[in-house]
Structure formats: structure tokens, C-alpha cells
A and B are shown apart, each in its own frame.
Chain A
Amino acid sequence: MPATWFHKPVQTLMNRAERLRNNLMALPPGLYLLLFFAVPSLMMLFASFRYPGEYGGLAPWYYMEDGQFSLDFTLENWLRLFESGIYLGLLFKSLGYALLTTLICTLMAYPLALMIARSQKRFRDLLLLLVILPFWSNFLVRIYAWMIIFSPQGALTIGLNHVTTALGLEPISLMFSSTAVVTCLVYVHLPFMILPLYANLEKHDSRLLDAAQDLGANRFQCFWLITWPQSLPGIYAGAILVFIPSLGIFAIPDLLGGTNGIMIGNVIKQQFVESRDWPFGSVLSLVLTGITLLLVLLAAKLGKTGGANNGK
């Protein structure tokens, strides 16, 4: 029997009372998120067209003149984004960091995910737990760990500088560099790539590889023609999970990046906390939101076609 029939008619079973109950269930979380997610986002959209207040915050969105009521909105904040190359440059730099992070994560996650997926069943849970465990330690602790490793007094920097002086080069500093930022971005987001990739690889039918080998493919061809194409949906999922949070991050550049390593997130934080220019901060946030939405939609699309290719 078509399996869908068995599940669908639950809806036909739902009489009016059940439909009402279902609506009542959706109401509390729906209202809550409307108030604490949708409304703030909309307020931010409004704020991006308002003037900044004299002492931070926002100026009123209307003014009264001779008893005349007038709206006071502006496009200035948006224009500022395009007029000054600094912010666009920073945005592209952040996109570059996030992209680099995603690429490195993919390269590092793939062998590990593949190894776990091909381990004996009884070890897989343990191996997977070992991936998740560091992820459960506090976010700041994980950044802090790299502050120790990259510190100028740290063994890594000193050791590297022995090499550089031996080669007659300038001593290098790892702390407050883009290397430090990207390394830590990779460290923090690596599990987000490993987990979806593993979930995908684990489902692969090993008999396909046997069949490919039987039909004359070598190990590399087996991987490139069989495993890799099938794993793409997993990579897309992981890439989204790595790219989006990397793009918006501010704590890592804040603590490890110094002045060179700052990203768009730092500027947003700056606009809201230090310079208190909320309208411009809102503009930057909305740009980030737009990029995120675009990527999520793209992922949804890729996920669909990728899923179809996967055949399962």
C-alpha cells in the first residue's frame, strides 16, 4: 500500500476539536517567538531608517512642527554602507574568513567522518562522542585555549621563531593575526561539519563500493565516483552550519584578532555597545541577516536536489 496513505489520513481524522487543540498548542510558542524574535527583527528594520539619537540610541521617528506631524525617516544609514568602502571591505573580508573556515573544516572533517562511518559499529558511538565532547565545553574556554597556545610566551610561537631566526626571517607573532582567527573559527565550528557529514556517510551502502571495485574501479575512483557525490548533501548541510555562525562571530576576532583580524560582527557590536550608532548597526545587522537568509534558502534548494540525487 502506498505508505503515505497510512500517515495522511490522520489529518482527515482530525475533527474540529482536534484542530482547535492543535492551534492552541501552537499559540504559546508562536506568540512568544513573535514577541521575542519577529518583533525585534522588525524593530531593527525600522531602526535602520531612523536617525541616531544624540546620546546614542535612536532619535524619535516623527517630529511636530507648527502642529504639523511629520515622519522622520532616512536612507542615510544605508547609503553610508556603500559610500564608505571600509564596511563593504570588511564584509567581504568576513565572507572570506567564513569561506576559508568552511573549506578547512570540510578538509579536516571528511577523513574523520569517513573514519568513524567505516569503523566497527560498536565503536562509532564512542568515536562520535569524542567529537561532540569538546563542543560541550564552554565557547569562551575553547577560544581561551587558543589564546594560551598563540600567546607570545607560548611554546608554539617561541618554537616557530627559532625556525624563522634560523632562516634569517623576521620573528612572527601568532597572536592577534588572521591566522589565529581562522584557526579558532575552524576549531569552534569543526563538529558542525563532522556531524552532518558523518550522518550522511554512515548511511552509504558499502556494497556500492564493492560493486564499483568489482567493476574495475580503484580506491581513488571508488571514492571520487561513489562516496564523494553521495556525500555532497552532508557537505552542504555542514557548510551552512559552519559558514553562517562563522560569518557573524565577534568573540573570536575580539579576543584573538587584534586590529587586523576584526570581522563584521565586531563592527556590529561596536555600533551597538561602544559608538551607540544603532541605525547603522541595524543596517549592518540586516545585511548579515540578508546573507544568512539567502544561504539558508540556497541550502534548502541544494538539499532538495542533493537528496534526490542521493536516491534515498
Chain B
Amino acid sequence: MAEYKRNIILGGFMATGKSSVGRRLAIVLGYDFLDLDTLIAAEEGMPISQIFTTRGETAFRALETRMVERVAGRTGCVLATGGGTIVNPRNLDALKRSGVVVALTADPDTILARIGPTEDRPMLWGGDKRERVRLLLEQRADAYAKADLIVDASAHSIDYVVNHILDFLTLHHVIARRTTVNLPSMAESFRIALGPRSHEVIIGPGLLGEVGRLVKDLGLAQTGILLTNPDDNRLFGERVIRSLADAGFTVRCVEFPDREDSKGLETLGWLYRQMAAERLERRSPVFALGGVVTGEIAGFAAATYLRGLPLIQIPTSHIAQVDTSIGGKVAVNLPEGKNLVGAFYQPRQVITDVEALASLPVRDFRAGLAEVVKIAAIRDRELFEYLEQNVEEVLSQDLRAMVRFVRRACEIKASIVEADEREGDVRSILNFGHTVGHALEAATGYQGPNHGEAVAMGMVVAASMAVRRKICSAEALARLKKLLQAFALPTSLPVDAGEVLRFVRYDKKIQDRQVRFVLLKEIGDSVVASLESPEELEEALRACAS
């Protein structure tokens, strides 16, 4: 019989590190991690701040209580709650019955510093932020005091707080024994077999601080360059540079904007000049730290400077981690079109720190899930089922769940790339959902759905086409839609079918004037086919209109 594991609930004030602490605790204990606010936002299909503005706090609190009751029914979870959750006695009771409640607090200065200038905290709306924080802390002090343990997180590292909580749990026999888990030891790796271009992909939490150690045996020169963007540099740059310095590397950091509109030859030329100024030589490593665009520009610069420098991809965005960091596609745009100048250039290593995903805006995180669903749908039924059965863990960014699905998605993409390194028939199944997806992005002037959301809708259209052709069951389509919806991804079109059709024709995957489509056969299997007629697509588009 399975061992009964009481839940560990993290309550307490905003910005005290409930989620970060919770994720690590879950890893050490081997529990699942759940994040209450994330689950509510996904279920409602809008951010918490929007629930507050459109429906008010009372409505939000009702949703919160409903979600508390749902998750309190589970066991073996670490649950991060919202700042106000345990203030409500009803919630606190339910949670205490399901496990141990720990309240994290901090002094107003620490909280204000961690929050920064954001407007995403509805409880701080109206009036002076400092005053609001002080007042709320005062109001909630009594409620927090009812927790089983209070930890003051000011001036303490995540690791300190985690250890403190573990000590308490051990002392009170909530957990049987202390197991210390070294985060990087959780890392998993696999090899992409591409002959002389073979390389390792390493996936795990906490790897940004391990970069230096991980690349030490690659035969790189000691002097290199780190190419990144302002956001990733601010969040992760120092950690990466420090770990490289500890391993004996001298690496200059060069920042460039990673917007799609700056992904051109001008930025590239500027990067070359920076590389020339660094006197890089043939073995000098180029570290690409950031999302898709950073990886593509930095990768192309590495591919073409001195006819190719060793490239280390350190993807931090979701799509970069599960998709674009694998396969060696690098490119820049021309005014005439996207990705027109590029190369297939394999990195020497890919270092994927799944904890970086926790710093993403929630919408970007979900957009990345669309690519994971895509890869599962076209190639791996097992991953699809895992996602279906672990929606809450995935949405809450449970570290084990992230390592699992990121690794699996990377492996599947790698196996496709291995079979077909340069874009051919096998690799083109990765375009599932992309023909319509690209058109949707273009049709809305890149102001509407983001890439992942557009791909989600594109997949539904392509799957509907397959159902119409009777090569795919209606049940498979329904499962696809249900999973996408569970991840709060859109499944019906925001624009007119005709508009989308017009843009499909511009897509660069058009071969000999024929539009090629990737069609779903069943969950885990897909096929590339030509469009029979424009009407076929039009009908599918109409069927998916909202």
C-alpha cells in the first residue's frame, strides 16, 4: 500500500518565495508541486489580476476556496497558495486537515524590493505601495500566526528557508527522514547522434549556476563571449558568468535586443564587431543565453564567425527549451521575410535549466506548452498521456514534471532531427499546426495570439481536416482540444477563415505552389499531406471559428 503523505502547504505574504521554495521542497521530498494561483488562472483562462478587474475580489475568493477544496483532496503535494488564501478560516481549516501549513513572511522592504515596479499584484492597487504592504501585513498577522510554522524569509536564501522547513517537518514526524538532494544531481542528459556534430543535451533545475562545470571538458578556449538580451542578462547573466569564472573561463557579456524586429543583419553585423573586438579564436566558445530569438541570432553569429565557433545553447524560454535549441536551426531576418538567412549549425552542448521557466510570464509558459503538446501529438502518445494526467503539476511548474516533459519533448525532436538533419519530409512533421499558425500570426499583424497560441489553433484546424478526411478519429481531436484547453490555450479562431486563407498562401513551406499540411492520424502519429483544395482548408477553418 502506498505510504500516506500529508501535504505541505505554503501560505503567507506575497513575494516571500512560496513558489520557489515550494518547487525545491517538492523535489527533496519527492512530492508533486502545485501552485494555487496558476491553477485558478488556467481554469478561468485569464490572469489573476484580470479576474480582480473583471469580476472583483469576492468572486476571486470564491474561486480560490473551490480550488483549495479540490487540491486539499490530494496527498503528497507541496502547495503554494496565494497571499490571502489562509486568511480565510475556511481555507485554513481545509488545508490544515490535509497537511502542514507553513506561513512565509518578510519585512516590507524585502517584499517591496522583490515585487519591483509590477502592477500585477491586485492587492497593492490603490494608494502607496509601501503603505499597502505594511497595512496588509498587519491585517494578516493574526491569520498567519495560526499556521503550524512561521518562517521569516527576509534576508534568507531559498535554500535556507527550504532547510528550515525540512527540519521542522522531520522534528514533527511529518516526513520520515531527511534526504538531501543536490539539485544538479537531478539533471538528466541525452545525446543527439549526428556523427561529428553529436552533442549532449543536459536538462535539470539549477543548471545556470553549473554552466562552467558542465562545459569544462569540451576542449574550449578559456576566453569566450556570452551573447544575451537585457532581460535574461538581468535575471541570469551574473549566475552564468560566475559559474564560468569559477571554472576558469573569462567571458565577456554582450547584450543585444532579442525582438523579432531587431533580428536582422544590422544586429548581426554589430555582434560580429563585438566578437572581433574580443579577438575570439577558433576554439573560443559562444554562449547563447536567452529565448528563441537570442538563440537564433547568437547561433548564426557563432556559425559564421571564423567559419564556426563552438556554440553552447542555454535556452531560457519555454519554446527555446523544448523546441528551437534542438536541431541546429539558426537564422536572421531580411526585410523581405523571416529567417531567410541562416544555417544548420549544431551546438556543442545544450544546457537547459527548467527553473528558468518559472520566471516567465505565465502566458509565455503556456505558449511553450503548445509546442510540447504538438510534439506529443505527432509522435509520442506516452508523453501526451503524461500531460493529460499531470495537468496541475505541469501548470504549477513542478520541477520533476518540467524535467520530464522538457526532456521528452527534446528527445522526440532530436530523434526527428537525427533522422533528417536538413529539412526534409520527416522533419516537416514538426510543422504540425504551423501552416495555419503562421498565417494566424500574420493575419493579426503579430499583435494577436502569440506563437504558441497560434500553433494551438493551427493544430486544431489540421486535426479537424484529418477528421474530415477520415484518417483521424473525432475522439483524438477531442482529446487534443481538451488538453489544449486545460493549458488555457485557445482552440477556436479569432479571425475570419478567408483572412487566414489569404496568409496561408504566403507561407514559405509552400513547395511547388502546393500547400503541405501535417495531419494527425491518432494521438502520437501524424502524416504529411498535400492540401486537396483550398475549400478543404476553408471548411476546416470555418469549423474551428469561434
A binds B: no
